Amino acid sequence: MTAPATATSHRSILRFLTCGSVDDGKSTLIGRLLYDAQLVLDDQLASLESESRTHGTTGGEIDFALLVDGLQAEREQGITIDVAYRYFSTAHRKFIVADTPGHVQYTRNMATGASNADLAVLLVDARKGILTQTRRHTIIAHLLGIRSFVLAINKMDLAAYDEARFREIVDDYMAFAQELSITDVTAIPLSALRGENIAAPAATMDWYHGPTLLSHLETVETATGGTLDAFRLPVQWVCRPNLDFRGYAGTVVAGKIKPGDPVVVLPSARTTSVARIVTADGDLSEAGAGAAVTLTLAEEIDISRGDVLAAADTRPELADQVAAHLVWMSEAPLLPGRPYTIRLATQRATATITALKHKIDVDSLEPVAGRELQLNEMALVNLSFSRPLVFDPYDTCRETGGFVLIDRMTHETVGAGMIRFALRRATNVQWQSLDIDRAARAGLKGQKPVCLWFTGLSGSGKSTVANLLERRLHGEGRHTYILDGDNVRHGLNRDLGFTDADRVENIRRVSEVARLMVDAGLVTMVSFISPFRAERRMARELFGEGEFLEVFVDTPLAVCEARDPKGLYRKARQGLIRNFTGIDSAYEPPEAADIVLDGDGAAPEQLAEELYRELERRGLLSG
């Protein structure tokens, strides 16, 4: 068997992915597609035959899945783990296919494959019918902008080529697809293992008169969610090889651009025009979507990575609060209120889910109430950014409307989202300028404001030490206040429980209150267990340099439990209190606290004195 003729440039490119539940035959389908389209070279076929005898799951016959299951673990387990891309062409079209995993725990990889695809081939085992994973993949693909679907009902040979079974599955799926307003669905009965209805019609299913899979892929016209035809270029790099050249490098993600075209730079909103379109092969007269170019501009404007060059008359939006669909990809749950890093095109900022509007039931598509988001769950959420970001709605432009969330502590990608619209409140609420500032308020009190953030297990001695310190400072005429965890839960945070999500919101609220108190010029002591590093980091970032000190009262759990001043540990051990820190809820000790107090080695009075001396040494009591 020989390779086909070299592809020519005039043929269009179709990017598609195969997805579905595990063992539905995705890799076999692609392998068979390549084989039947005569795209497997002789030496590849010989190697495939050899590997099939070692790793194959087809009883000695050629296992076509091995053509795309590239990882050793995949071959040994007979499953797809990572996304495998294959590039091939026929006489009619070029193809880029993403073979994505079916296992639930690898749904994140499926979403990665779908993010760049124009069409989804949904594999369904004819014996099993539509499964939850089929619905989940349909929703993710739909959210990611795919509008064209092939319902490939595989393993028809194991279902006796039963037309009634085929119709039953199609009806089941179409009822589900209708709820998502998916209308472009082509259902094809096939057997990937036997090559039936892959590249040639199957005599065993003479009741089917539609296209084969290959002929459909060669001719289908797809419509994706990206409809924007206005120019967009997120700046990836400012190119300055010498003093005479300043260019802005990036990929055109939408529209076209020519020298002389007016552009706007966002977020600064400065306007200018394009001087040159520079590439390694010389200047271009025009560049369109997908082109990696360097632009020079007619005027010198301060531009850096993360800025967006856009058509001056059709600008993207700029907002610090948006509504978005979110697919959660981490074993650790999403906790509203926790800060994450958002990466949107080439922009980075801190993002917080301010509201989990509702989760999406993948079987019924019904909205479901929830306060957390678990692995592979989807939801409509509101997000707040640490600064306004440039974006287009995802339905308009995938590249400037899609984002990922990254855990700031582990650097794990934990979520993928699609921006739907800016929240109107984002542009209506603005900072009010005040004449009296923090320095003026603190000066009147004759002191330096600071937030002392006490953290430690329940019973570690945080509140006792804070109370002793406040008594001494108050006696010296200093203006102070203690925000105590228990006290705040009687009022401001009385609606919160002790789940991880509630603890995050608990810290977010008290952090904001503490920031206001420091702004008022007070020495503010916050005594909260605050078990998670992420939230303590979030609190720190609300304050200026030197205004926040993390005080870790380091007392071992056994000592805290022995003290048990409120009897809470005893109740937790008896199962009367759930989610108790140190017992059945985690505590993450500081990795680099500003001040560490040995809660087991000294009396509270000594610790308060030690802390007082440290504040004195840092010059915080010199006012």
Nearest to 594 by CA among 541, 544, 548: 548
Task: List residues with catalytic annotation.
Answer: 530
Sign of CA dihedral 252, 254, 258, 260: negative
Which residue has 């036997």 as its token pair? 194
Q: Let me know how long the chain is.
A: 623
What is the rounded distance in angstroms from the CA atom of residue 335 to the CA atom of residue 381? Answer: 12
Nearest to 256 by CA among 307, 211, 290: 290
β-sheet bridge partners, residue 383: 322, 353
What is the rounded distance in angstroms from the CA atom of residue 464 to the CA atom of residue 556? Answer: 16
Please give the helix or strand (H or E) that residue 72 lies within, else none: helix 72-77
SS3 of 424, please?
Answer: helix
What is the rounded distance in angstroms from the CA atom of residue 457 to the CA atom of residue 64? Answer: 57
Sign of CA dihedral 508, 498, 557, 412: negative
Burial of 361 (0-12, 13-18, 19+ CB in 10 A): middle
3-class SS string, 520-558: CCCEEEEECCCCCHHHHHHHHCCCCCCCEEEEEEECCHH
- Residue 173 has a CB neighbour count (10 Å cut-off) of 23
What is the rounded distance in angstroms from the CA atom of residue 297 to the CA atom of residue 168? Answer: 60
User: CA neighbours within 13 Å on the CB side: how many for 342?
Assistant: 32
Structure tokens at 71: 């990882």
DSSP label at residue 333:
P
SS3 of 603, please?
Answer: coil
Structure tokens at 139: 């929703």
Nearest to 267 by CA among 353, 346, 381, 383: 346
What is the rounded distance in angstroms from the CA atom of residue 419 to the CA atom of residue 403? Answer: 8
Please give the helix or strand (H or E) that residue 169 lies within, else none: helix 163-179
SS3 of 37, please?
Answer: coil
β-sheet bridge partners, residue 124: 153
What is the rounded distance in angstroms from the CA atom of residue 307 to the CA atom of residue 325? Answer: 24
φ, ψ dihedrals at 368, nearest 5°? -125, 135
